[in-house]
Chains A and B, each alone.
Chain A
Amino acid sequence: MEKNLMVAGFGGQGVMMMGKLLSYATCESTDLNVTFFPSYGAEQRGGTANCYVVISDEPIGAPLGDAMDDLVVMNGPSLNKFLYKLKPNGTLFINSSIVKDEIIRSDVRVVAVPVTEIALEMGNAKVLNIIMLGAYIGYTGALAEDLMMKTILHKLKKKQELIALNTDAFARGLAIGKAVRSEANA
């Protein structure tokens, strides 16, 4: 079983880090195969950034996948650019704080998370990716939440002062993801 995820947004939103954290956690806590493939080019803050994560119990051939099971869109331009990549019945995670365009496809599920607003409310705009990662894990259950959190804590071991903030950010996202999931199941 192969699962394809694409994360897209502005440079500086932690798009790569979100994909990497999920990949690290998969590598460190499971026996699954995982690939992380970043876009690269003239990357800059405010420019575009995207990455692909493939998780599979078989050897992974195509690190870009053919079509995405899940698409995380952190900004408006990425929605228009990458929505076509999402499979029918795939899940679209949007940063609903700034992605205001109409979602022109009706064959996808939408998980709207106002990550920019929540992050600002928490006092640090940089944690929006951790909130989205929480929402992604909460909704998809792609990985056990404690395993995901273990990797986040491990990455922050030299920045102890940020642990409380990131733990809270992950929990906020997780709650939203789980709530949308249970609505969908109801």
Chain B
Amino acid sequence: MSRVFMKGNEAIAEAAVRSGCRFFAGYPITPQNEIPEYLSRRLPDVGGVFVQGESEIASINMVYGAGQTGTRSMTSSSSCGISLKSEGVSFCAAARVPIVYCNMARGGPGIGTIQPAQQDYMQATKASGNGGFRMLVFAPSTVQEAADMTYAAFDYAQRDRNPVLILGDGVLGTIMEPVELPRMRSEEEVAQLKRELSDWTLIGHDPDKGRAFIKPGVWSTKGQEQMCKDNAALYDSWEKDVQVETIGLEDAQLVITGYGISGRIAASAVGKLRTEGLKVGFIRPKTVSPFPYGAYEVLDFHRVKCILDVEMAIPALMIYDVRLAVKDRCPIETCLHAGGEIMSREEIIEKARALLAK
């Protein structure tokens, strides 16, 4: 397949279309603007609909509505804009409406900066809205992964009838790299995917079936409890969907860990350190929800002296999940940046050297 040179945001947008996305609503915010910009041109070409909403809240609710028709639907934003969407995302999770959304994260809290950061880890993985729902959350570290994960995200959303989040950052959104785009699904395939959902989607009215409802809540307490149990059973089934990249864990004395852009920079630091013969391993969660606890749990802690957590977030956030897996069996050190300051490979290397020399 031939490769094309694309911006992360544009590759995500194109991958969404190829996966069958035919509705997008969003509101401008840096650094994700190329997603709506691209789709505003691209979606009409394939018979889809692009709406620039009057706000983030309007946009997510349009996506909630479009998703109820079985149309593959998407929105995107960045950090503070994602916070605004959280009510709608929670409604999608409650009503079990499949949607895909994308957070190209920036500095925070609040308006923060418009430069790249990873301050939204907790929001993305633990509480993307009220009500204790969970989602599959993919954290791509290259433009290729961003395209592939977005393409797959629509299939996961449809499989589970649940929102799926792509968690990126300003680097991933704005960087350009060669990418091999996934296959374009034909109109017939996209139509068939929609038909597969026809037992619950709200398209047309069948007088023999009575009224059709999709509701983001249940009036009876027992009914709501049952819904929570059904959701929990879905979340428990995701162990099979965990994705993780590891390097050199078979001999590592120090394990460096990070996700997304930090993970990618850390991986290249690990590569450099290993060529010097240093016993450094690497774990990069590709799904941050569900988190790959198992990758840390199986480490030989007689050999692994320390874990170095690399994040563009202060305070460190993914570290809470790493701690859950490591269970105090070795110290966890950090290499951190925030506010739009981008991690440097050299800093990770220096920190790793210092830890190994201890």
Nearest A residue (CB) for B269: A61
**B interface: dominant SS:** mixed
Q: Assess the B346–A66 pair: CB atoms within 8 A.
A: yes
Q: How far is the CA of A36 from the CA of B175 in the complex (A)?
A: 6
Q: Assess the B171–A37 pair: CB atoms within 8 A.
A: yes
A130 within 8 A of partner (CB): no
**B108 contacts across to A, CB distance below 8 A:** none
**B55 contacts across to A, CB distance below 8 A:** none
Give A155 Cβ to nearest chain B Cβ, in Å: 11
How many pairs of residues, A versus B, come closer than 8 Å at their CB atoms?
63
Which of B38-46, B120-128, B260-268 lies on the face that meets chain A? B260-268
- Asked, given contacts A61-B267, A63-B171, whether A35 binds B344 with beta carbons under 8 Å apart, the answer is no
Q: How far is the CA of A40 from the CA of B142 in the complex (A)?
A: 19
- Asked, given contacts A61-B265, A66-B346, whether A34 binds B174 with beta carbons under 8 Å apart, the answer is no
Classify chain B's interface size.
20 to 34
B323 within 8 A of partner (CB): no
- Asked, given contacts A27-B4, A27-B178, A62-B265, whether A40 binds B344 with beta carbons under 8 Å apart, the answer is no
B140 within 8 A of partner (CB): no
Q: CB-CB contacts of A20-46 with B at 8 A, as 1s and 0s?
A: 100110011000011111101100000
Q: Assess the A28–B5 pair: CB atoms within 8 A.
A: yes
- Asked, given contacts A37-B174, A40-B170, whether A62 binds B114 with beta carbons under 8 Å apart, the answer is no
- Give residues 152-174 of B contacting A (CB, 8 Å): 170-171, 174
Q: Assess the A41–B5 pair: CB atoms within 8 A.
A: no
Q: Assess the A37–B175 pair: CB atoms within 8 A.
A: yes
Q: How far is the CA of A35 from the CA of B178 in the complex (A)?
A: 8
Q: Assess the B3–A27 pair: CB atoms within 8 A.
A: yes
Q: How far is the CA of A37 from the CA of B265 in the complex (A)?
A: 14
Count of A interface residues, CB-CB < 8 Å: 23
Interface centre among A23, A38, A62, by most B CB within 10 Å?
A62
Which of A36, A58, A59, A64 interacts with B176 by CB under 8 Å?
A: A36
Q: Assess the A41–B114 pair: CB atoms within 8 A.
A: yes
B31 within 8 A of partner (CB): yes
- Asked, given contacts A40-B31, A40-B114, whether A20 binds B265 with beta carbons under 8 Å apart, the answer is no
Q: Assess the B178–A61 pair: CB atoms within 8 A.
A: no
- Asked, given contacts A40-B114, A66-B344, A66-B346, whether A61 binds B264 with beta carbons under 8 Å apart, the answer is yes
Q: How far is the CA of A45 from the CA of B177 in the complex (A)?
A: 26
B342 within 8 A of partner (CB): yes
Nearest B residue (CB) for A24: B5
Q: How far is the CA of A125 from the CA of B286 in the complex (A)?
A: 46
**B142 contacts across to A, CB distance below 8 A:** 59
New A-B contacts (11) at CB < 8 Å, excluding given A37-B175, A66-B345: A34-B177, A36-B177, A37-B171, A37-B176, A41-B114, A41-B115, A58-B271, A59-B267, A62-B265, A62-B345, A66-B346
Binding site for A on B (CB under 8 A): 3-5, 30-31, 114-115, 142, 170-171, 174-178, 264-269, 271, 342-346
What would be 21 A-B contacts, judged by CB atoms less than 8 Å apart?
A23-B176, A27-B4, A27-B5, A27-B178, A28-B5, A33-B177, A33-B178, A37-B175, A40-B31, A40-B174, A41-B114, A61-B264, A62-B264, A62-B265, A62-B268, A62-B343, A62-B344, A62-B345, A64-B342, A66-B345, A66-B346
Binding site for B on A (CB under 8 A): 20, 23-24, 27-28, 33-38, 40-41, 58-67
